[in-house]
Amino acid sequence: MRHLAPPDTVVAPLGSAATSMLGSNAANGPSARSGVALSLESPSSRYPFPPYANGWFRALYSHELPGGEVKPLHRLGREWVAFRGGDGQPRIFDAHCPHLGAHLGVGGTVEGDAIRCPFHGWLWNGDGRCVEVPYAKRIPAKAQIRSWRVVERNGVVFVHHDATHRAPSYEVPEFPECSGEGWTPLEIRHWTVNSRWLDMNENAVDQAHFRFVHGTPTIPEATVEVEGHVFRVRNAVKMNTPRGVIEGELTTTDYGPALQTVHISGAVDTFMLNTATPIDAETTDVSFAYAVRLAPGQQGRGVGAARIRDLEHQFEQDRAIWENKAYWERPMLCDGDGNFGAYRRWMKQFFSEPSA
């Protein structure tokens, strides 16, 4: 990791690197939404950047897709079908059958590693190629359904999206905290939030909000580290606990635009696997999965329940801000604010022009 800058030195507006990502150097407000990015937006969007970033997104948790099951998914403004074949591999295809448009996730059935359409029985293999039309002598040469790149890791099925159809530029890491070894099983929570994750996630560098939204006794000291697709913020925090104010560390690490871990030390060592998947241009499915480190001899669920309740409460505090805030391309920052410039420059790498 390369140390970039302490977060307490930003005085000026974010500057050209942050604003040019949005294709505009104009002032804040609706009139600022011009240039390249605007052409990707609906006129009512409050964000001057495209709704769907490039990277790995949680499609669903592994346990939500048992062997032989088919699930419809509405994610990234698209309709998908997810299924798990006889080889145990999860697969995600475009939902609508190329024949006459049936939704494969509604009545489709798994056969081996393939999925059969409920409408006229065409069979699509694990690569999305049609391998059987039960009532025809010839399979149309172009009978192919789009198959999306998928990886299953940390109890999550991730799908890769790239607006220009490029291969992934990074991989999803494996986190030992998700293994259950020495940690509680993941406690999973979901929220549907009327906001975009990359706007919500700016929280990571917003040290002042801890004091005013979450009521921490002080504003934490933070350092930011950026390396390629990884963005890490280490915060030295003081936390209110039933035993009084204690010192701890809160580290958030982003791996691409939609996967984040949080490590909190202090009273209880806590790990969070945070994933955020756009449902459509303005709505995000946010999920936090919590694990708490077990003391030697300690067992299972329920450990750290109070800490998890507190973190859920914090989410609701943030949510009220997120769902109602505006996105300023040139916020009026002061010297006590966090390193928003570093965050926005990092975020820029996950956007590209869509292809037709």
Residues of this chain that interact with ligand FES (CB under 6 A) are 97, 99-102, 117, 119-120, 122
Residue 102 interacts with, from ligand FES, Fe ion, none (CB under 5-8 Å by kind): ligand FES
Q: In angstroms, give the least distance from the CB of 96 to ligand FES.
A: 8
Residue 318 interacts with, from Fe ion, ligand FES, none (CB under 5-8 Å by kind): Fe ion
Q: In angstroms, give the least distance from the CB of 100 to ligand FES.
A: 4
Question: Which of residues 102 and 151 has its CB atom nearest to ligand FES in the complex?
Answer: 102
Amino acid identity of residue 106, one-letter, is: V
Spatial separation of the C-alpha atoms in residues 55 and 173, rounded to whole Å? 13
Q: In angstroms, give the least distance from the CB of 104 to ligand FES.
A: 7
Q: In angstroms, give the least distance from the CB of 85 to ligand FES.
A: 18
Spatial separation of the C-alpha atoms in residues 175 and 125, rounded to whole Å? 32
Q: Does residue number 274 form part of the binding site for Fe ion (CB under 5 A)?
A: no
Query: Under rule CB under 5 A, how many of the chain's residues touch Fe ion?
Result: 2
Question: Which of residues 119 and 328 has its CB atom nearest to ligand FES in the complex?
Answer: 119
Spatial separation of the C-alpha atoms in residues 278 and 77, rounded to whole Å? 7
Spatial separation of the C-alpha atoms in residues 338 and 114, rounded to whole Å? 50
Question: Which of residues 122 and 210 has its CB atom nearest to ligand FES in the complex?
Answer: 122
Spatial separation of the C-alpha atoms in residues 84 and 61, rounded to whole Å? 12
Q: In angstroms, give the least distance from the CB of 108 to ligand FES.
A: 9
Bridge partners, 222 (sequence order): 235
Q: In angstroms, give the least distance from the CB of 296 to Fe ion.
A: 32
Plot region of 44 (φ>0 → left; ψ -120 to 50 → alpha; else → beta) = alpha
Name which position in 64, 111, 113, 318 contacts Fe ion (CB under 5 A). 318
Distances (CA, A) of 292 to 15, 185, 187, 309, 330: 40, 8, 9, 12, 39
Sheet with strand 244-255: strands edge to edge? 3-5, 221-227, 230-241, 244-255, 259-265, 270-278, 284-292, 187-193
**Residue 355 burial (CB < 10 Å; 0-12/13-18/19+)?**
exposed
Paired sense of beta strands 156-161 and 150-153, if any: antiparallel
Residue nearest to Fe ion (CB): 318
Spatial separation of the C-alpha atoms in residues 120 and 100, rounded to whole Å? 9
Q: Does residue number 203 form part of the binding site for Fe ion (CB under 5 A)?
A: yes
Select from 39-47, 117-125, 195-203, 232-240 the region that touches Fe ion (CB under 5 A): 195-203
Question: Which of residues 14 and 117 has its CB atom nearest to ligand FES in the complex?
Answer: 117
Question: Which of residues 127 and 249 has its CB atom nearest to Fe ion in the complex?
Answer: 249
Angle at 52 between CA 48 and CA 57, to 5 degrees: 140
H or E element that contains 125: none
What is residue 202's DSSP assignment? G
Q: Does residue number 207 form part of the binding site for Fe ion (CB under 5 A)?
A: no
Q: In angstroms, give the least distance from the CB of 123 to ligand FES.
A: 9
Residue 111 interacts with, from ligand FES, Fe ion, none (CB under 5-8 Å by kind): none
Question: Which of residues 203 and 252 has its CB atom nearest to Fe ion in the complex?
Answer: 203
Q: In angstroms, give the least distance from the CB of 130 to ligand FES.
A: 9
Question: Which of residues 34 and 109 has its CB atom nearest to ligand FES in the complex?
Answer: 109
Contacts of 169 (CB under 8 A, 6+ apart): 54, 229
Question: Which of residues 5 and 139 has its CB atom nearest to ligand FES in the complex?
Answer: 139
Q: Does residue number 113 form part of the binding site for Fe ion (CB under 5 A)?
A: no
Residue 97 interacts with, from ligand FES, Fe ion, none (CB under 5-8 Å by kind): ligand FES
Task: Summarize as ranges the residues that interact with Fe ion (CB under 5 A).
Answer: 203, 318
